[in-house]
Amino acid sequence: MKKVVLITGSSSGMGKTTSEFLSNNGFIIYAATRDISKISKNKNVIPITMDITSQKSVDEAVKIILKKHTAIDILINNAGYGLVSTVEDLQEIEMLNQFNVNVFGVLRVCKSVIPIMRKNKSGVIINISSFLGKIGLPLLTLYNSSKYAVEGITDSLRYELKNFNIRVHSILPGFFDTKFARDNLVTNLQTFDEKSPYSSLVSSLAPVIVNQINNGNDSIEVAQMILDIINDDKFPARATVGDKAKKFIPMRKELSDEDFERRVREYYNLNG
């Protein structure tokens, strides 16, 4: 029997690539997004409307899936975006929106799907985090902290769900060419104002980050790792994928906080 997969943020990037890849490997995919017109037509990819900022929307989408299937075997929490802003310039609505999507969205979908997996005593939850969920960068404080939170959710859920035979994993991608810099970065206008006291930081760092994203790894690498996690019940709790993640995460483990910060400052030319 084909396994049922629910993927959030499926209209582009890693979500779209993973939906198509898993469908070609024999899975039934429910591709969740707010605008299903962006989902490619594929007999094994079923578009489903879901707004992860609304528990009602999430629950309704899950109910639709359960009308046709007795289980949701795999949940992939992929939806998210990045806010680029200094802390000083942050608007409260920007703070709330960043966490509402990247953190509370993950919790809402988990809350709706976990009871199904628990009753079936089987399931895999894969949270798409970021290597920035383990290291900080200026201008990305809210995105960083939201991904740190996703890592905490992953760690705690592993304990909660272990006895129900539900596995929980996170993937920490580096920079990937997924149109993220073009479609999924939201910039604060004050931070990017040429009169901002942070203008030198913005002018030196922002183009580098955007360039690294636009010239990053292929998202098929993430899709392949997701398949590996599904197929291997001994897969590690978290794994990195992509050049930047493989460079910085091991370094983060080996060095002191001060030495690691010095390396990041040198790499991104943040020493003034």
Residue pLDDT, tens place only, 59-102: 999 999 999 999 999 999 999 999 999 999 999 999 999 999 99
The verdict on residue 105 lying in a domain is: yes
Q: Which of 10, 11, 19, 196 is catalytic?
A: 11
| Separation between Cα atoms, residue 153 and residue 168, nearest integer Å | 10
Are the C-beta atoms of 76 and 7 separated by less than 8 Å?
A: yes
Classify residue 228: in a domain, yes or no.
yes
Structural domain count, the chain: 1
Of 10, 12, 23, 129, which is the active-site residue? 129
The percentage of the chain sitting over the pLDDT mark of 70, rounded to a whole number, equals 97
Is-contact 122 237, C-beta < 8 A?
no
247 is catalytic: no
At residue 43, the pLDDT reads 75
Tens digits of residue pLDDT in 115-152: 999 999 999 999 999 999 999 999 999 999 999 999 99
Would you say residue 272 lies in a domain? no
231: domain CATH number?
Answer: 3.40.50.720
> Is residue 242 in some structural domain?
yes
User: What ranges in 121-219 are assigned the alpha helix state H?
Assistant: 141-161, 180-183, 199-214
Report the C-alpha dihedral over residues 236, 78, 100, 151, rounded to 10 degrees: 10
Closest CA to 213 of 249, 250, 173, 170: 173
Answer whether residue 134 is part of any domain. Answer: yes
- Domain around 170: 4-267
Tokens matching residue 157: 């859920």
Q: How many CA atoms lie within 13 A of 107 on its CB side?
A: 15
Mean pLDDT (whole number) for 22-39? 92
The pTM assigned to this predicted structure is 0.94
Does residue 88 belong to any structural domain of this protein?
A: yes
Provide the pLDDT for residue 257.
94
* Partners of 45 in beta bridges: 29, 42
Residue 30 token pair = 């429910």
Annotated catalytic residue, options 12, 112, 130, 147 = 147
DSSP state of 85: B
In this prediction, residue 272 carries a pLDDT of 63
Confidence of residue 196 (pLDDT cuts 50, 70, 90): very high
Q: What is the three-state SS of 214-272?
A: HCCECCHHHHHHHHHHHHCCCCCCEEEECHHHHHHHHHHHHCCHHHHHHHHHHHCCCCC
pLDDT band at 184 (very low <50, low <70, confident <90, very high): low
Which tops the pLDDT comparison, 243 or 131?
131
Mean pLDDT of 11-29: 93
Per-residue CA distances from 23 to 8, 9, 46, 161 (Å): 15, 16, 10, 27
Residue 148 among the catalytic residues: no
Lowest pLDDT segment from 34-38, 168-172, 189-193: 34-38
Model confidence band, residue 180 (pLDDT cutoffs 50, 70, 90):
low
pLDDT bin (cut points 50, 70, 90) of residue 211 is: confident
Look at residue 1 in the predicted model and tell me its pLDDT: 83
Residue 79, in any domain of the structure: yes
Q: Let me know if 179 is a catalytic residue.
A: no
Residues 6+ apart with CB under 8 A from 160: none
Rounded-to-integer distance, Cα 126 and Cα 114, Å: 12
The DSSP 8-state label assigned to residue 76 in this structure reads: E
> In the annotation, is 119 catalytic?
no
Catalytic residue among 143, 146, 148, 244: 143
Has residue 216 been placed in a domain?
Answer: yes
